[in-house]
């Protein structure tokens, strides 16, 4: 069965894992400015506070997992009053050993594994908004296990390290997104997949991109009237069906052009266009460059 969420994660190309042990004791608080990269943390023991800019504060407890697909500014602290110390996430990445906040000696009040990674896809700006801005999951041991494996693998230099790290990050993303209910998700792909009727149409669109899809044909797949399907899809996904289909076709086309594995005619057929000229016209209008020039620019980069 085609899984649109796996399609999105695969095209995001998560890479370059950094992870670190973090602990805090007594009165402590740290402030990180927005840095945009996806980040995660798993609470191993104890508890702490986390306040993300523009969102309600959270209490993170042992067994909790947090994923931020695009990390905004935030303050993390204990439960005693303390003035936040400003931290640079890129600088702290280079520090060895566990990162300790607050009182240096004695047992910590909280221990976490935290880290960040990068989406290498040039389409991350289009794909990341399909995901919730914050994923907070409680008591899912599989996620904590994946974070521990990431930590162990990132600290070593074993053969196949980069491939294993990549697969672990992909698993981490999919496993955490599985825990998000449709009601929690913003308008977008996750909410659409939580709707059984829209999910049928989404799987067909992703799995049969070469088909000449129309709103009536997709409505038939979803077992809805044309008007009901259009309204439900637009409200749930945040864009009209053919807008979503065009954006996905162009995202796949750009990835294939960068890889250079297909000729223009084959690529055009793969993403649902009857001729290379029709595809080139649509691609140029959408991207602002003809396919050939886009492919050459990608190869040069």
How far, in Å, CA of 49 to CA of 166, rounded?
Answer: 30
Backbone angles phi, psi at 13, to 5 degrees: 55, 65
Angle among Cα 236, 242, 247 to the nearest 5 degrees reads 90
Q: Is 21 exposed, middle or buried (0-12, 13-18, 19+ CB in 10 A)?
A: middle
Domain of residue 194: give its range. 189-300
Which DSSP string corresponds to 170-227?
A: HHHHHHHHHT--TTTSPTTHHHHHHSHHHHHHHHHHHHTTTS---HHHHHHHTTS-HH
How far, in Å, CA of 11 to CA of 52, rounded?
Answer: 27
pLDDT of residue 91: 64
What is the helix (H) or strand (E) element at residue 17, kind and residue range?
strand 14-25
How far, in Å, CA of 295 to CA of 301, rounded?
Answer: 10
CATH number at residue 97: 2.60.120.280
- Cα dihedral across residues 149, 134, 16, 90: positive or negative: negative
Q: Are residues 193 and 54 in the same domain?
A: no
* Residue 219 is assigned to a structural domain of this protein: yes
pLDDT of residue 185: 72
* Residue 151 is assigned to a structural domain of this protein: yes
């523009």: which residue's tokens?
Answer: 54
Q: Are residues 106 and 195 in the same domain?
A: no
For the chain, what is the domain count?
2
pLDDT of residue 119: 85
How far, in Å, CA of 272 to CA of 124, rounded?
Answer: 23
Per-residue pLDDT of the chain (301 residues; tens, 9 = 90+): 468 888 888 888 888 678 888 999 999 999 998 887 888 889 989 999 999 998 889 999 998 999 888 888 999 999 999 999 998 876 665 555 788 999 998 999 999 988 888 888 887 877 787 777 888 888 888 888 888 888 888 777 778 888 888 888 888 888 888 887 666 677 788 889 889 999 999 999 999 999 999 999 999 999 999 999 999 999 999 999 999 999 999 999 999 999 888 899 999 999 999 999 999 999 999 999 999 999 888 665 5
How far, in Å, CA of 148 to CA of 127, rounded?
Answer: 27
Q: Are residues 168 and 238 in the same domain?
A: no
Whether residue 112 contacts residue 44, with contact meaning beta carbons closer than 8 Å, is answered with yes
Q: Per 3-state DSSP, what percentage of the chain is helix, strand, and coil (rounded to 5)?
A: 45, 20, 35
Residue 54: other Cβ atoms inside 10 A: 8
Buried b (16+ CB within 10 A) or exposed e, 161-185: eeebbbebbbbbbebbbebbeeeeb
pLDDT of residue 265: 94
pLDDT of residue 204: 94
Which among 147, 178, 209 is the end of a domain? 178
Q: Are residues 210 and 260 in the same domain?
A: yes
Which among 178, 204, 224 is the end of a domain? 178
* Residue 183 is assigned to a structural domain of this protein: no
Q: Are residues 32 and 168 in the same domain?
A: yes
Question: Tokens standing for 82?
Answer: 């303390």
Q: Are residues 173 and 211 in the same domain?
A: no
* Residue 242 is assigned to a structural domain of this protein: yes
Q: Are residues 285 and 171 in the same domain?
A: no
All residues at 6 or more sequence positions from 42 whose CB lies less than 8 Å from its CB, including other chains: 64, 65, 66, 112, 113, 114, 143, 144, 147, 148
CATH number at residue 249: 1.10.10.60
Q: Are residues 136 and 70 in the same domain?
A: yes
* Residue 184 is assigned to a structural domain of this protein: no
* Residue 121 is assigned to a structural domain of this protein: yes
Buried b (16+ CB within 10 A) or exposed e, 186-198: eebbbbbbbbebb
Question: Tokens standing for 4?
Answer: 């649109």
* Residue 100 is assigned to a structural domain of this protein: yes
Which among 144, 178, 212 is the end of a domain? 178
Q: Are residues 200 and 92 in the same domain?
A: no
Length of the chain: 301
Q: Are residues 114 and 245 in the same domain?
A: no
Q: Are residues 94 and 164 in the same domain?
A: yes
* Residue 134 is assigned to a structural domain of this protein: yes
């890889």: which residue's tokens?
Answer: 259
Q: Are residues 89 and 136 in the same domain?
A: yes
């Amino acid at each position: 069965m085609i899984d649109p969420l796996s399609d999105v994660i695969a095209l995001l190309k998560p890479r370059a894992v950094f992870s670190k042990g973090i602990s805090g004791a007594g009165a402590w608080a740290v402030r990180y400015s927005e840095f945009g990269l996806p980040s995660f943390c798993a609470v191993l023991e104890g508890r702490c506070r986390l306040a993300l800019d523009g969102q309600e504060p959270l209490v993170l407890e042992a067994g909790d997992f947090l994923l931020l697909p695009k990390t905004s500014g935030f303050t993390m602290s204990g439960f005693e009053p303390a003035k936040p110390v400003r931290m640079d996430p890129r600088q702290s990445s280079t520090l060895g050993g566990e990162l300790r906040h607050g009182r240096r000696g004695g047992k910590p009040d909280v221990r976490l594994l935290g880290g960040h990674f990068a989406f290498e896809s040039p389409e991350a700006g289009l794909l990341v908004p399909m995901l919730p801005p914050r994923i907070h999951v409680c008591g899912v041991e599989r996620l904590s296990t994946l974070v521990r494996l990431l930590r162990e693998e990132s600290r070593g230099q074993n053969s196949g390290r980069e491939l294993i790290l990549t697969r672990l990050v992909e698993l981490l993303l999919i496993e955490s997104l599985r825990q998000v209910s449709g009601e929690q998700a913003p308008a977008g792909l996750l909410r659409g997949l939580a709707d059984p009727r829209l999910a049928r149409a989404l799987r067909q669109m992703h799995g049969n991109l070469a088909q000449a899809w129309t709103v009536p044909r997709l409505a038939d797949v979803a077992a809805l009237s044309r008007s009901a399907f259009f309204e439900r899809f637009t409200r749930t996904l945040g864009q009209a069906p053919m807008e979503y289909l065009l954006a996905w076709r162009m995202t796949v086309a750009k990835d294939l052009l960068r890889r250079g594995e297909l000729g223009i005619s084959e690529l055009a057929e793969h993403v649902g266009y009857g001729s290379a000229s029709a595809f080139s016209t649509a691609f140029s209008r959408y991207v602002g460059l003809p396919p050939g020039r886009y492919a050459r620019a990608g190869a040069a980069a």
